[in-house]
């Protein structure tokens, strides 16, 4: 049994742009090798389509409206908190403002580096932040996340640990190092040009030409390839420290990214495949090489981590992925659900989707009219029935029908959100 749990999450990484999920470009050869040696879940779906709901669901194992409150503050215990109570050292490294200390996601982490709040290495952090501002970069590169997390591992005394690394690089505005851009686009694109194109794709999607859409996807693929190389570096670091053979590694994404398939770019609050079909790979001791077609959810990550660590699990809706790998036929009838709160003019809407091995259904619930509309196959079968039941359960819960967008955040978080396309 593995002693440690390593959770790797990627921001905005859709499954169908990865080599191991059949993409024609070799964007992620290292992840493909990890997936070949471990278990790859081909029909894995995020609990939501955007970070504010998706990452909290990964970290807590609960549906978004249980994981966060109406103001997107953490509203449930994290995996880190549960593992810490079971004797694990815990750390998280990322730079996404939506899951920072400001929203309560440092709960349970002995060390929480969100690249927003300065820790003990204050001078180094300030220097790096100043350099990032000059470059107009609003998140820490995967190489920086690796450096900080490996340094933390070196500080441990040999006990079990839970490490969470979240890589922002696949997220727009797609500014991979020049060598990666040349590999996938033929030439390097200035950061300012990449930022302008990305922001226009979000605000005015109809203005994007076919050539510009191809450019966006080229730059996205370049970021994926860069991140894949950094993933290799992290695995090398774990191997050099003798930790890889003692660790269960779970790899997934909070959501995908759209390139005009349904008339929009980036990741607004819809639930089409390009937004919620995400990679899910499990590797480590006693994990067999397997390809699983049974539907899976990012909700399964928390339960799997806790079950592996021998930590009591109660009330979580996900499944233990190790059990799914051992007996996939037992989960053949599984239906996985995703959900998203509407925003701005759609703030009164709640969107849902349900996916089984053979069907996909979408639901839109109007909180003001108390009305649910479904769309999907020709006839409502078990998948649609489960979706109706899920919507009824979620919308009957007090206080979960409306979202608040008015919480106060500091100026630096506002700046980063704007640069990432959120404001």
Digit-by-digit pLDDT tens for the chain (423 residues) are 899 999 999 999 999 999 999 999 999 999 999 999 999 999 999 999 999 999 999 999 999 999 999 888 999 999 999 999 999 999 999 988 888 898 999 999 999 998 754 444 444 444 444 444 434 457 899 999 999 999 999 999 999 999 999 999 999 999 999 999 999 999 999 999 999 999 999 999 999 999 999 999 999 999 999 999 999 999 999 999 999 999 999 999 999 999 999 999 999 999 999 999 999 999 999 999 999 999 999 999 999 999 999 998 989 999 999 999 999 999 999 999 999 999 889 999 999 999 999 999 999 999 999 999 999 876 778 999 999 999 999 987 644 444 444 444 555 555 555 555 555
The pLDDT of residue 381 is 87
The pLDDT of residue 402 is 42
Q: Beta strand 349-355 with 336-341: parallel, antiparallel or unpaired?
A: antiparallel
CA 396 to chain CA mean position, Å = 27
CA dihedral 136, 142, 143, 144 (to 10 degrees): 70
The pLDDT of residue 213 is 98
DSSP class of residue 207 equals: G
Burial 23-56 (b: 16+ CB within 10 A, else e): beeebbebbbbbbeebbbbbbbbbbbbbbbbbbb
DSSP class of residue 74 equals: B
Evaluate the omega torsion of the peptide bond into residue 173 and state whether it is cis, within 30 degrees of 0. Answer: yes
CA 174 to chain CA mean position, Å = 17
- Tokens for 116? 């927003």
For residue range 177-216, what is the model confidence (pLDDT) as tens digits? 999 999 999 999 999 999 999 999 999 999 999 999 999 9
Cα separation, 96 vs 291, whole angstroms: 31
CA 75 to chain CA mean position, Å = 18
Q: Does the CA dihedral 393-396-399-405 come out positive or negative?
A: positive
Query: Under a CB-based contact definition with an 8 Å cutoff, are residues 64 and 57 in contact?
Result: yes
- Domains delineated in the chain: 4-334 (3.40.720.10)
Query: Under a CB-based contact definition with an 8 Å cutoff, are residues 422 and 90 in contact?
Result: no
Q: Does the reported pTM lie above 0.85? A: yes
Residues 6 or more apart from 7 whose CB is under 8 A from it? 58, 79, 162, 163, 164, 165, 249, 250, 301, 305
Beta bridge partners of 8: 165, 251
Three state DSSP letters for 315-383: CCCCCCHHHHHHCHHHHCCCCEEEEEECCHHHCCEEEEEEECCCCEEEEEEECCCCEEEEECCCCCCHH
- Tokens for 85? 């109570």
> Crossing angle, helix 29-37 and helix 210-240, to 10 degrees?
50
The pLDDT of residue 60 is 97
Cα separation, 408 vs 412, whole angstroms: 12
Cα separation, 353 vs 376, whole angstroms: 10
Cα separation, 417 vs 138, whole angstroms: 8
């Amino acid at each position: 049994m593995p002693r440690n749990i390593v959770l790797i999450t990627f921001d905005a990484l859709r499954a169908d742009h990865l080599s191991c999920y059949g993409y024609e470009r070799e964007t992620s050869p290292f992840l493909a090798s990890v997936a070949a040696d471990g278990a790859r879940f081909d029909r894995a779906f995020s609990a939501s389509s955007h970070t504010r709901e998706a990452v909290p669901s990964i970290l807590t194992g609960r549906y978004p409206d249980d994981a966060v409150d109406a103001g997107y503050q953490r509203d449930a215990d994290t995996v880190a908190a549960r593992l810490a109570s079971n004797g694990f050292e815990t750390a998280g490294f990322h730079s996404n403002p939506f899951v920072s200390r400001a929203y309560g996601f440092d709960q349970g982490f002995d060390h929480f580096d969100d690249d927003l709040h300065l820790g003990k290495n204050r001078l180094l952090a300030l220097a790096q932040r100043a350099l990032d501002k000059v470059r107009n970069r609003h998140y820490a590169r995967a190489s920086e996340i690796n450096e900080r997390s490996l340094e933390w591992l070196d500080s441990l005394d040999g006990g079990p640990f839970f490490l969470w690394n979240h890589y922002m690089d696949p997220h727009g505005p797609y500014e991979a190092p020049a060598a990666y851009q040349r590999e996938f686009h033929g030439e390097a694109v200035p950061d300012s040009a990449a930022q302008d194109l990305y922001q226009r794709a979000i605000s005015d999607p109809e203005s994007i030409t076919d050539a510009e859409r191809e450019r966006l996807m080229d730059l996205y693929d370049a970021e994926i390839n860069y991140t894949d190389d950094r993933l290799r570096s992290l695995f090398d670091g774990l191997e050099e420290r003798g930790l890889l053979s003692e660790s269960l590694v779970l790899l997934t994404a909070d959501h995908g990214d759209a390139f005009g398939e349904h008339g929009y770019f980036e990741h607004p609050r819809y639930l089409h495949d390009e937004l919620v079909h995400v990679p899910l790979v499990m590797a480590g001791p006693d994990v067999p090489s397997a390809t699983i077609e049974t539907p899976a959810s990012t909700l399964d990550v928390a339960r799997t981590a806790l079950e592996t660590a021998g930590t009591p699990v109660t009330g979580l809706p996900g499944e233990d992925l190790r059990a799914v790998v051992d007996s996939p036929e037992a989960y053949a009838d599984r239906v996985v659900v995703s959900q998203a709160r509407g925003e701005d003019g759609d703030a009164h809407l709640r969107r849902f989707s349900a996916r089984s091995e053979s069907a996909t259904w979408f639901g839109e619930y109007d909180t003001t009219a108390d009305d649910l509309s479904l769309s999907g196959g020709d006839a409502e079968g078990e998948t649609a029935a489960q979706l109706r039941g899920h919507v009824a359960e979620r919308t009957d819960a007090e206080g979960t029908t409306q979202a608040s967008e008015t919480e106060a955040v500091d100026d630096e978080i506002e700046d980063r959100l704007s640069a990432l396309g959120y404001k």
